[in-house]
Chain A
Amino acid sequence: MTLISDHPTTAPTSVGRLVDRFEQGLDAPICLTWELTYACNLACVHCLSSSGRRDPNELSTEECKAVIDEFERMQIFYVNIGGGEPTVRSDFWELVDYATDHHVGVKFSTNGSRISTEVAERLASSDYVDVQISLDGATAEINDAVRGDGSFATAITAMQRMADAGFVGFKLSVVVTRHNVSQLDEFKALADTYGAQLRLTRLRPSGRGADVWDELHPTGDQQRTLYDWLVAHGEDVLTGDSFFHLAGYGESLPGLNLCGAGRVVCLVDPVGDVYACPFAIHEEFLAGNVRAPGGFTEVWRHSDLFTELRQPQSAGACGSCGHYDACRGGCMAAKFFTGLPLDGPDPECVLGHGEHSLAARGDAEPPKPSLDHSIQPRRVPVVMRDRRPDRTCDENPLASFDPAVLAT
């Protein structure tokens, strides 16, 4: 994402800092994630949506098309489609075509397992479809420990097919973990090899990610390394605004640097439930359902939860911190699923306040996701190898966007 300028304007037409306006919400999301199915042929240990089995109540083809019609009416330029593994839906391509025919661009996240030569060629010929292939290790050893045996080879094969088909600029999407943070240069080299753009996102303690977050989230030193690497690579590397909690180190990373939950982003899940963000599949962040009267538009514009999120938020315990304007207290979902108060520091606060809060939690169990479509029982050790990994559990609030703010 690039941001040309986000400074207060000096013209008489000034509307103040755009970020302040975004925090009050928009008529339609800037970026909407739509998870089409909970079915997945992998079972990644950190899957945000605890995917595995299809939910019997998932939206039908006709219901999906009605949702797309609504997106078109709301002028949602682009949706990020994920899952589960969205391509396992038998109507997946039909829905992609329907969306693009109705002026709704699509970026979909995939583990690559359905990217045949024929599919790659078809994708390469479309102007309105972008593809994001998930990989969580630059080597099979690191990747497959998280995403499952064979998943590295699958993703590499898919990238090779995309490159052979002439699709330039698809995304290689990586969730940064304690074990792959030392491979950032290798990921960049891999992306360059296949003509892809590297996208790094934050590991969230959401879905099955809650089970492995303690073991997989980057250490404090690693966060600093990551931040320096991101600053050095600037706009060459996308982050979906994932790492705004690192802004406390100094210079802000490219992006909007705000929590967009319910303000500029949201999630529609496979059964039509609308959550504040892709990392917050929990009843606490459930705003409504697209099947209810008024549909998605009503939920986005008038739901109690989103209305509340658009009110000024308390800085709480972070109010006295000089870095609050930079990090805005970090990620709501990361705090929630680690059992921290929403008006306090992010668990990965760069000043270490999050660690203190985590230590002070006591024995209270953090909230668990309300839904679980996992095939295997939860709480699987990261090193376990007999479990197939997952999907693209890394969808991010401002994922596909590349905003350039105009100072008039």
Chain B
Amino acid sequence: MPPLPPPSDGTAFDGSRPWTLHPQVSLRPESFGALAYHFGTRRLSFLKSRRLLAVVESLADQPTGHDACVAAGVTDAEFESYERALATLAESGMICEREAS
């Protein structure tokens, strides 16, 4: 196995940028939300709601992180908490920035 990237090799989350699920991450829906597993860093994360799962799944198809939240039905009042969750995912490399399409 090649050297593992450090656990926090991710980046800060900027909701105005385009994002995507990291290609080495798999999502498994569960009743509470989902499990996310990164085959590169071997980290497991828990997404604590189905809506957060919907946001993460739609990242690659939306122009920005914020748009993905809106598309999944996140309200303005909720946006801050989702931004925090996405920031945690970005920090652990579960999601990453992509080239704007």
A residues within 8 Å of B by Cβ? Answer: 2, 4-5, 9-15, 18, 21, 26-28, 30, 75, 77-78, 103, 105, 123-130, 166-170, 400-408
- Decide: A405 and B1 in contact? CB cutoff 8 A: no
- Chain A contacts for B43, CB-based, 8 A: 2, 402-404
The docked-state distance in angstroms from the alpha carbon of A246 to that of B99 is 47
Q: How far is it, in angstroms, between the C-alpha of A75 and the C-alpha of B26 when the chains are bound?
A: 8
Query: Once the chains bind, are B48 and A168 in contact (CB under 8 Å)?
Result: no
Q: Evaluate contact between B1 and A15: CB separation under 8 angstroms.
A: no
A403 and B46: CB pair below 8 A? yes
Min distance, Cβ A192 to any Cβ of chain B, angstroms: 15
Q: Are B28 and A127 in contact (CB under 8 A)?
A: no
> How many angstroms between the C-alpha atoms of A129 and B1 in the bound complex?
7
CA distance A10 to B46 in the complex (A): 16
19 example contacts (A-B, Cβ-Cβ < 8 A) are as follows: A9-B81, A11-B49, A11-B78, A11-B81, A13-B48, A13-B78, A27-B31, A28-B28, A77-B44, A126-B1, A127-B40, A166-B3, A168-B3, A402-B7, A402-B44, A404-B43, A406-B45, A406-B47, A406-B89
CB distance from B9 to the nearest CB of A (A): 14
Least Cβ distance of A165 to chain B in Å? 10
Q: Which 3 A/B pairs are nearest by Cβ-Cβ distance?
A: A13-B49, A77-B37, A11-B81
Query: Which residues of chain A are within 8 angstroms of B42 by Cβ–Cβ distance?
Result: 78, 105, 130, 400-402
Q: A78-B37, A406-B85, A408-B52 are in contact. Are A401 and B44 (CB under 8 A)?
A: yes
Q: Do most interface residues of chain B lie in helix, strand or loop, or is the interface mixed? A: mixed
- Are A404's CB and B45's CB within 8 A? yes
Task: A10-B81, A11-B78, A403-B45 given; name 8 further pairs at CB < 8 Å.
Answer: A2-B7, A12-B78, A14-B48, A26-B31, A105-B42, A169-B1, A404-B46, A406-B45
Contacts of A103 in B (CB 8 A): 26
Asked whether any CB of chain A lies closer than 8 Å to the CB of B62, the reply is no
Alpha-carbon distance between A75 and B27 when the two chains are bound, in angstroms: 8
Contact B49 A15 (CB under 8 A): yes
| Contact of A406 with B37 in the complex, beta carbons under 8 Å | no
* Residues of chain A lying within 8 A (CB to CB) of residue B26: 75, 77, 103
Contact of B3 among A105, A128, A169 (CB under 8 A): A169
Is the CB–CB distance between A27 and B30 below 8 Å?
A: yes
- The residues of A that contact B51 with a CB separation of less than 8 Å are 13
Residues of B within 8 A of A126 (CB): 1
Contacts A77-B26, A169-B1 hold; do A30 and B85 have CB atoms under 8 A apart? no
Chain B 25-63 interface residues, beta-carbon cutoff 8 Å to A: 26, 28-33, 35, 37, 39-49, 51-52
| A15 nearest in chain B by CB position | B32
Q: Are B44 and A404 in contact (CB under 8 A)?
A: yes
Cα(A16)–Cα(B29), bound, Å: 17
Residue B100, interface by CB 8 Å: no
Size category of the binding interface on chain B: 35 or more
A127 to B4 Cα, complex, angstroms: 9
CA distance A77 to B40 in the complex (A): 12
User: Whose C-beta in chain A lies nearest to the C-beta of B44?
Assistant: A403
B83 to chain A, nearest CB (A): 10
Within the complex, the shortest CB–CB distance from B50 to chain A, in Å, comes to 8
Q: Which residues of A contact B31 (CB under 8 A)?
A: 21, 26-27
Contact of A18 among B28, B40, B46, B88 (CB under 8 A): B46
Query: Shortest distance in angstroms between B22's beta carbon and chain A's nearest beta carbon?
Result: 13
Residues in B with CB closer than 8 Å to A125 are 1
Most buried by A among B1, B28, B31, B84: B1
Whether A13 contacts B92 in the complex (CB less than 8 A), given A18-B32, A126-B1, A403-B46, comes out as: no
Q: Which residue of A lies closest to B35 (CB)?
A: A30
Instruction: Give min CB distance, A30 to chain B, whole Å.
Output: 7
A167 CB, min distance to chain B CBs, angstroms: 6
Docked Cα-Cα span, A12 to B78, in Å, equals 8
The reply to whether B47 and A408 contact each other, CB–CB distance below 8 Å, is: yes
* Residue of A with least CB distance to B3: A168
- Candidate in A14, A169, A408 with the most chain B CB atoms within 10 angstroms: A408
Q: Which residues of A contact B30 (CB under 8 A)?
A: 26-27
CB-based nearest B residue for A9? B48
Nearest opposing residue in chain B for A77, CB measure: B37
Is A408's CB under 8 angstroms from B1's CB? no
Q: How far is the CB of A61 from chain B (nearest CB, A)?
A: 25
Q: In the complex the two chains form, what is the Cα distance from A11 to B77 in whole Å?
A: 10
A301 CB, min distance to chain B CBs, angstroms = 12
A126 to B4 alpha-carbon distance, docked (Å): 12
